[in-house]
Amino acid sequence: MESREFTVHTEEDAYNLSASVRLIGADVLVAIWGGERPHIGAVAVAQPRPSLKDPKLTSASASVICLVGHKEDELVKATAEIMAAMLETQVVVTAGIHWDNLSPAAIEQIIRHSEILVDKIMARCVAEFSS
């Protein structure tokens, strides 16, 4: 089976992020990066499951590995769970984002950009992988 892939970027301001997305069989692999020194800071693996509140709905559970001194764990966990639940497949997300001396306002911008990036990833996944 052939794998399919694409890359998306935010284009908001100085704190843009990028993601490479690859469909591997029915599963999805996502790498998110940005900043002055992109790297691998955290990894999450999520799988879909029936929602605990309403078994008719799909939710997801994730396991996370965060490397010492890194803070991408919340980003990879949320992204993997959202994607696994919405796409109803297994998802692996890795992220590494780094800018020096960020202000609280800059951190908030990066968080907003990560939300924009996930929206772009999901829109492309639906368009690219549903065929």
- Rounded to the nearest 10 degrees, how much is the dihedral formed by the CA atoms of 31, 35, 42, 22? 0
Angle between the N-to-C axes of helices 104-129 and 73-87, in degrees from 0 to 180, rounded to the nearest 10: 20
Q: Assign residue 26 the CATH number of its domain.
A: 3.30.230
> Over the stretch 72-117, which tens digit does the pLDDT of each residue have?
999 999 999 999 999 999 999 999 999 999 999 999 999 999 999 9
pLDDT for 128: 74
Confidence of residue 126 (pLDDT cuts 50, 70, 90): confident
**Residue 33: other Cβ atoms inside 10 A:** 19
Q: Kindly state the average pLDDT of the residues 119-131.
A: 84
pLDDT at site 100: 93
Q: Average pLDDT for residues 41-69, to the nearest whole number? A: 96
pTM: 0.92
**For range 50-57, the mean pLDDT:** 93
Give the domain extent around 35: 4-129
Q: How many folded domains does the chain comprise? A: 1
Q: Give me the numbers of helices (H) and strands (E) for the chain, helices first please.
A: 2, 6
Question: Quick one: what percent of the chain has pLDDT higher than 70?
Answer: 95
pLDDT tens-digit map of 3-17 = 689 999 999 888 999
User: So what's the pLDDT on residue 131?
Assistant: 57
Is the pLDDT at 121 greater than 90, yes or no?
Answer: yes
What is the end-to-end Cα distance of the chain in Å, rounded? 14
